[in-house]
Chains A and B, each alone.
Chain A
Amino acid sequence: MRSRLLVSTVAVTLFLVAWEIAPRLRLVDPFFTSQPSRVLVAGVDIIRSGTLLHDATVSLSEFTVGFALALVVGVPVGLMLGTFPTLRHLLDPPLMAIYATPQLALLPIFVLWLGIGMASKIAVVFIGASIPIIVNSMAGVRQVEQPLVLAARSFCATGRDVFVKVMLPASLPAVMIGIRLGLSRAVLGVVVAEMYVSQEGVGNQIMRLGSAFRVDHLLVYVLLVSAFGLGATTMARKLEERVAR
């Protein structure tokens, strides 16, 4: 564990040093690659101007609302689909079709329906995150070992008992996997949707700064997104491990 940390730290440090030195040695053009020091300066600049706070708030709101909706809808729907075969047979084909479709392919339709404001981004996040949550929750219920159900029934369990005391806890690890997968789709959805159709938000800034050839500033936003994604996924994984034990 300690050696792993050491190797990772050395690798990151080496990369940062190389990135800083390469432009100075004229090996690469900093216009295209930027440099850690320049990104740092750009970061301070962005924070001072207040744009960071504004764009981060917009993106975070879209993410939070969309993902919360995905949780509230996805988990119960997935559990229900796992429990009732008829419902599953009915909804499985459209669900799989949406699962196979990149969520962003639907963006133009959402924009048409909901406009270019936050609502269409929330829809993209929701669709992206809810499908893996539904599919994994459904699989979780279906993978519950039958002897466990039989054991519960042998002790006079009611249908509700079986659900609460067997199905729910038994499928929790799979639900958590769905949530983690949904999380990365949600982050992707917010940023890319903003890049294509919007007037504000982190994705919008990345796109604008790219068109303006301002790589230093652009990278500040990219780093922000990846830090957020990494943090969220790590938290989900920690939760997942606790649930799976």
Chain B
Amino acid sequence: MVHIRIDGLTVAYDKPLAGGAFVAVSNLNLDVPRGTFVTIVGPSGCGKSSVLLAIAGLTKPAAGRVLVNDRPVSGPGRDRAMVFQEFALMPWRTVVENVRFGLELQRWTGEDLTERAHRYVRLVGLQGFEHYRPHQLSGGMRQRVGIARALAVNPEILLLDEPFGALDAQTRESMGDELLKIWEQDKKTALFVTHSIDEAIFLGDTVVIMSTGPGRIVETIPIDLARPRTIDMMDTAAFVEYRRRIRHQLNGEVPAHA
């Protein structure tokens, strides 16, 4: 059951100073089945974030299209919610108010929005910090707010654009672990962009490897690791083999025994 179909997607940005357009993504095809966790890994500038923005309906494709539930995406929708690398929290809003933000904009009615926001604040483990402002929180806690804000609007699809890219390695690992625990509860379709190979393998049912010049998919690797996943799996032979394979692919080399 395909949930998201990316069909010949080309994303280009105007570069008036350079005199022309910069092609970020070129003729990209990808099917994402419902309920799967797909990670996209690749070097910076390979257009992986552009793919996400196109699915979110925040950038218009130069060519091709994105279909969600067989319907072409023409703009942002209630069925998709995004988590941003720079957190993108409103600094004047408290934690609860930030989580409420999406609910307000989507004009949720019929239930107490603040109460619902509180529930998602608890879900991401921020009880006790409800009335803090973003600048009073650590990076990891800020991104929990970002995740709670996205989950609160109950999207079908979760789009995560290098959400842990601004965090230190240790926080990053535990955030990934917690994200999976939350995801396991209702298995929304998730697209997760990262440049960390380990993160991509650890989280994903499928790892999509992208390359630059212009952005395209070079390989799609199904990750056959049991769920629920644990941090210890990162030391297993299978995990190490995936890591080796992806690293070779990213370096543009053919794996020795492939």
Secondary structure call for the B interface: loop
Which stretch (B77-85, B122-130, B172-180, B236-244) binds chain A? B77-85
The A-contacting residues of B in range 106-140, CB under 8 angstroms, are: 106, 133
Q: Does A153 make an interface contact (CB < 8 A)?
A: yes
Residues of chain A within 8 A of B88, CB atoms compared: 145, 147-148, 150-151
The A-contacting residues of B in range 128-180, CB under 8 angstroms, are: 133, 153
Q: Does B58 make an interface contact (CB < 8 A)?
A: yes
- Do B86 and A147 touch across chains, with their CB atoms under 8 A apart? yes
The size of the chain A interface, using a CB distance under 8 A, is: 18
Query: B11 CB to closest chain A CB, in angstroms?
Result: 15
Residue of A nearest to B93 (CB): A169
The B-contacting residues of A in range 130-185, CB under 8 angstroms, are: 145, 147-148, 150-157, 161, 165-166, 169-170, 172
Query: B165 CB to closest chain A CB, in angstroms?
Result: 13
A153 to B92, CA, bound (A): 18
Q: Does A48 make an interface contact (CB < 8 A)?
A: no
A152 to B81, CA, bound (A): 11
A172 to B92, CA, bound (A): 10
Q: Does A89 make an interface contact (CB < 8 A)?
A: no
Give the interface centre of B56, B78, B102, B153 by most chain A CB atoms within 10 Å.
B102
- Do A165 and B104 touch across chains, with their CB atoms under 8 A apart? yes
- Do B58 and A155 touch across chains, with their CB atoms under 8 A apart? no
Residues of chain A within 8 A of B87, CB atoms compared: 147
- Do B101 and A154 touch across chains, with their CB atoms under 8 A apart? no
A157 to B91, CA, bound (A): 18
- Do B77 and A156 touch across chains, with their CB atoms under 8 A apart? yes
- Do A245 and B133 touch across chains, with their CB atoms under 8 A apart? yes
Residues of chain A within 8 A of B102, CB atoms compared: 155
Residue of A nearest to B53 (CB): A150
Query: A245 with B92: in contact, given A151-B82, A156-B106 (CB under 8 Å)?
Result: yes
The A-contacting residues of B in range 39-64, CB under 8 angstroms, are: 56, 58
Query: B243 CB to closest chain A CB, in angstroms?
Result: 31
Q: Does B1 make an interface contact (CB < 8 A)?
A: no
- Do A157 and B90 touch across chains, with their CB atoms under 8 A apart? no
- Do B92 and A155 touch across chains, with their CB atoms under 8 A apart? no
A76 to B127, CA, bound (A): 39
Residue of B nearest to A148 (CB): B88
Known: A151-B89, A170-B92. 18 other contacts (CB 8 A): A145-B88, A148-B90, A150-B58, A150-B84, A151-B82, A151-B88, A153-B76, A154-B81, A155-B101, A155-B102, A155-B105, A155-B153, A156-B75, A156-B77, A165-B90, A166-B90, A169-B90, A245-B133
- Do A156 and B105 touch across chains, with their CB atoms under 8 A apart? yes
Contact string against A for B residues 197-225, beta-carbon threshold 8 Å, 1 for contact and 0 otherwise: 00000000000000000000000000000
